[in-house]
Structures are given as C-alpha cells and as structure tokens.
Structure 1
Amino acid sequence: MNIALIAHDKKKDDMIRFATAYKPVFEHHTLYATGTTGLKIMEATGLEVHRFQSGPFGGDQEIGAMIANNKMDMVFFFRDPLTAQPHEPDVTALIRLCDVYAVPLATNMGTGEVLVKGLERGDISWRDIIRGRTPSKESL
C-alpha cells in the first residue's frame, strides 16, 4: 500500500510518536510524506520515506495528484485545527480528494489508530482490488 504521512507543525511530534509506535506495520508499505514531516520520521524511525515538498510549497498538492491518479491508498494527515494555515485551500483540496476517491483519511491520532489497526488486519485490502493489484501477503 502507498501511504501518505503529513503533519502540521504543532502535530509533528504526534506523527513521530505514531510512526514510531506503528513502525512494524509501516515498514511493509511504501511511505510518502511532505518535506519536514518525512525527514523527522526517517530520523526517528529509520523508515524509508519518499519526501515531497513541504506542504506550503506544494507537497500537499503532490500527494493530492497521487490520490487523483489512484496511486495513494491511505492518508494520515495530523492537522492543527487551532492554527490558521497559509495553504488552507490546499489542505481542503487534499481532504476533498480523499472523499472523492474513497481514500481512507485520518486527521488525528485517534482515527489514525483505527486505520492503522485495520491496515494491520488487512481490512484495507480492497484498495488493492480497486488499483488492479493482487492483494499482498501483508494485506491479507
């Protein structure tokens, strides 16, 4: 599965803790992240992460393009709802794309835990079918 990891500045520590806690699950998948978030995850966990630009510099849009092209299977986007974001239209567009293309999205750690447990159990293997892939051993 292709999985995006994104976190606003005040949520980056939460994302690092989350990625560290679920490293055994994430290491079986292909990870993508916006710039600084990806770097911090790699440094803290040793996981391989394909890094896009920082969110305000187009990283959210790069991940959005993967969603629109059916190349992203799940998104963990830990948002800071209490701080205005200069690229809020990009954030809104990314969330809308997840809804349009039925890509599971967690915007906080609580929902993230539910999704990652489902990923671990193979509940998300329907994404393999949508993308025309044979479900992987890890997703069964």
Structure 2
Amino acid sequence: MKPRIALIAHDKKKDDMITLAGEYRDFLAGCTLTATGTTGGRLINELGLVVECMHSGPFGGDLQIGARLVDGEIDCVIFLRDPMTPQPHEPDINALVRACDVHNVACATNLSTAHLVLGRLMQTKNEEKQG
C-alpha cells in the first residue's frame, strides 16, 4: 500500500519543505500526498508531484487534514512549523497535532524528525519491494 502523507509548512518554512520534498522526490512520487493549499501548490509547480490540495491552513486546511487523519486516511504528517511566529489559527494547529497523538500517527514538526520519518518510510517501502 502506498504511504499516505500529509505535508504542511508555515510561510517561513515553505522553502524548507520544497527542499525536503526535493530530496525525497522519487519516494514521495510513489506516495499518496495531501497538503494545505499554498504548500501543495508549490509542491506541484516546483517539483511536479501529484498532491491533493486542501484549503490553506488559516482557512481550515489543517482541520481538513485532521479529519482525514481521524478517518484513517493519513499515515503520517510532516508539518514544518515556525515556532517563532504567532499563527492566527493556532487552535487548528494544536488540534491537528493532538489528533496525531490521539490516533498514534507520526507527526514530524521540524526538519530533523521529517528526515527520520521519511527515511524510515522509504526504507520500509524498499524492504517490501525486496521481500
């Protein structure tokens, strides 16, 4: 089964998301990707990935992804958060991260954990191909 990954990045982290996704582009191309609006648009336009775009985070995109996660349609979340900038939709962000905790879904909120999660998913997928 294809990994189902949600990709979200705050404004000051969008360039980091594009760089990260570029490093894992071949792997991500074999996944089912969902993203918030602007992040998804950039992943499509700059990397040619197939991404289902939700609304932008401040307009409910985080909540849309959270609902999919609760319904078992998301396997992991890569959410590059900007901890230094207040976000007007902070309650939505907290709800999404809480949903990850409640439903035991991996949630990487910085580049370090994103590399660990994506690296492990890629390794698992490669092992499945070999086995």
Alignment of 1:73-88 (within 5 A): 73-88=75-90
Query: Aligned equivalents of 1:44 and 1:60: distance in 2?
Result: 22
Query: Hey, what does 1:48 align to over in structure 2?
Result: 50
* Superposition pairs of residues 29-44 of structure 1, within 5 angstroms: 29-44=31-46
Kindly report structure 1 stretches of 4+ aligned residues shifted beyond 2 Å: 137-140
Task: Measure the CA separation in 2 of the matches of 1:93 and 1:29.
Answer: 25
CA 1:70–1:78 in structure 2 vs 1: closer, same or farther (change >3 Å)?
same
Letter paired with 2:30? H
Whichever residue aligns with residue 78 of structure 1, its letter is: L
Letter in 2 for 1:100: V
Select the residue among 5, 8, 14 that pairs with 1:6. 8
| Matched residues, number | 128
After superposition, the CA RMSD in angstroms is 1.7
CA distance in 1 between counterparts of 2:70 and 2:116 reads: 24
TM superposition shift of 1:102: 0.6
Against the structure 1 CA distance between its residues 68 and 9, is the aligned structure 2 distance closer, same or farther, given a 3 Å change threshold? Answer: same
Q: Which runs of 5+ in 2 are unaligned?
A: none
Measure how far apart 1:138 and its partner are.
5.4
The match for 2:101 is 99
How far apart in 2 are the matches of 1:65 and 1:30? 16
State the percentage of identical aligned residues. 48
Q: Normalising by structure 2, report the TM-score.
A: 0.93
1:139/1:52 CA distance change after superposition, 3 Å: farther
Equivalent residue of 2:67, what SS?
helix
